[in-house]
Amino acid sequence: MPLEPARRARGWTLPMKKNHAASLQTGGPKLGLGVMYPSPGAVERIGSDWDWIWVDGQHGQLGYQEMLALVRACDLVERPAVVRVASHEGGVIGQVLDMGAAGVIVPLVNTVEQARALVKAAKFPPLGERSYGGRRPVDLHGRLYSETANVDTLLVAQIETPEALGNAEAIAAVPGIDALFFGPDDVMLRRGLKMDQARPIEDLRADLATVATACGNHGKIAVTVGANPELMALCLALGYRMVVGGSDAGLLSNGSKQASAWAREAVKGNATGKGVAAGIY
């Protein structure tokens, strides 16, 4: 793409435009980090440990400016930012894609009709009706960004209710839906499981397989959360291509507990040498 005259005059170059949809489908499975706190610095510090970043604009503590800053941080560490929005509203979906996000995750997609409406919002004509003119895509990639945007970005439909599981095959078949994200919490909640109870892996196996099979049948990406090693192994065995393996909240909580535990043992005179030798930074 031609550089803008002002940038060309200064000798600046534009970032390489990447096809994130292709990068997330090639090679081995891609491990994701979930981000719910508005801390771009955290992404700069640990984002490169992972293959992609799930920016949670639905349940996280994130507004527009915070999400934009996180997407920019993901760009800095060269990891795709896939942003979950809070609703099916087309303007919100377009706004996230105009941030330069690699993809958008939409929650609670239960029917084919809902899936088709999301394609209309997230894809440019002739596939959809996404509005042209995103400030950041034009600034970074030029005015022709729309010519490849439909394949450069992912539209991810969350399958997280019994109704959605029953329609998974049909939703996966919708042109423009790039991936299905199995969300176990809402499924289990609707089946009466308390959210503080452990989820036996056998209770999830059939649902995980349903989504993975639907994706495999239609060439779509299967996405989910692998919250522990056993579940991660099952997801990978079923063919999931994008699996969230950690989160900022979980890493903060677990790391804090571990550090405070050995520090308190040291206070008691029981130093074990399990601290971080290089310091706290």
Is 59 a known active-site residue? yes
Out of 20, 59, 141, 218, the active site residue is 59
Point out which residues pair with 221 in neighbouring strands: 179
Respond yes or no on whether the N-terminal peptide bond of residue 126 is cis (omega within 30° of 0): yes
Give catalytic residues, as residue numbers: 59
